[in-house]
Structure 1
Amino acid sequence: MIQPRPNSRARIGAALALFPLLLAASCVSESNAGGAATTLATGAVKPAALATAEFGAPQPAHATYSCGQRGSLTIDNFRTSVRLVDPEGDNVELPAAPATQQSRYGQAPYALVLDGNEALYMKNGKEPVTCNR
């Protein structure tokens, strides 16, 4: 079994703590989403703001992450949403959660946190997996 790096455990803990928030954010109806949804829908977000993820590292539009023995995670990043193929082969589309940022994505039962060259992928009922580019 591959042992996670010490700070990976901290990230997993932080991501698990944020998971309920991601799920709650995905439950907001369009009529209650407020100005952020309107801004995203109208395209008023400035392209320069989309160049860098919240954690400071630029995220590529398409990337494949190695998840060790579990396989790979392929992500198409559209900044306000991602489309991914998880290690089990499931095709998933996730919105940004909350809608105004570009490193956390989620919709029950999935969550994804991008941080530099790492992607933390969570699926309800499964152990979270940290994958690397």
Structure 2
Amino acid sequence: MPVILLAACVADGPGAEPGVASAPRGKTTYRCDDGARMVVENRGASVILTLDDNAPVTLPASPADSRIRYGAPPYALLLDRNEALLMKSGAAPNTCRR
């Protein structure tokens, strides 16, 4: 089984709380570097990920108390402000932007 490593990003700038990451809540549409369209519905403890017109996939927070890292095989997702890093087993990481 492949090993997926995730790194967390933290918010900075005016009004940001030191050490606390920022991720958009609700439904957000991203355009990915590979041309894909990704919709993420952030529910806090989980997200619903829809890639292009494929069936939605629910990814739980990983670890359970995280609000920026989500994953379930074969996906891992890292959210931070206007960007998301999508990883899928066997594929190169894909950066997506709002």
TM-score, normalised with respect to structure 2: 0.74
Query: 1:113 maps to which residue?
Result: 78
- Using CA pairs under 8 Å that are at least 6 residues apart, name the structure with larger relative contact order, 1 or 2: 2
Identity %: 41
Structure 2: segments with no counterpart, 5+ residues: 8-19
Say which structure is richer in helix.
Answer: 1
Query: 1:80 maps to which residue?
Result: 45
Tell me the distance in 1 between the aligned counterparts of 2:58 and 2:24: 17
Q: Aligned to 1:70, what secondary structure does the other structure show?
A: coil
Worse-superposed segment, 83-92 or 120-129: 83-92
The answer to whether the 8 A contact 1:62-1:74 is kept is yes
Offset, 1:86: 1.8
Match of 2:6, as an amino acid?
Answer: L
Give the CA RMSD over aligned residues: 2.0
Q: Aligned to 2:6, what secondary structure does the other structure show?
A: helix
Larger radius of gyration between Structure 1 and Structure 2: 1
The answer to whether the 8 A contact 2:47-2:60 is kept is yes
Query: 2:29 maps to which residue?
Result: 64
Distance 1:126 1:90, change over 3 A: farther
Match of 2:38, as an amino acid?
Answer: L
Distance 1:128 1:87, change over 3 A: farther
Per-residue displacement from partner, 1:35-93 (whole Å, max 9, x unpaired)?
Answer: xxxxxxxxxxxxxxxxxxx41x2512110001144221100110000001124734211
The answer to whether the 8 A contact 1:67-1:87 is kept is no
Structure 1: segments with no counterpart, 5+ residues: 1-15, 20-53
TM-score, normalised with respect to structure 1: 0.56
Say which structure is richer in strand.
Answer: 2
Per-residue displacement from partner, 1:100-124 (whole Å, max 9, x unpaired)?
Answer: 1100001111100001110000111
Give structure 1 regions of 4+ aligned residues with deviation exceeding 6 angstroms: none
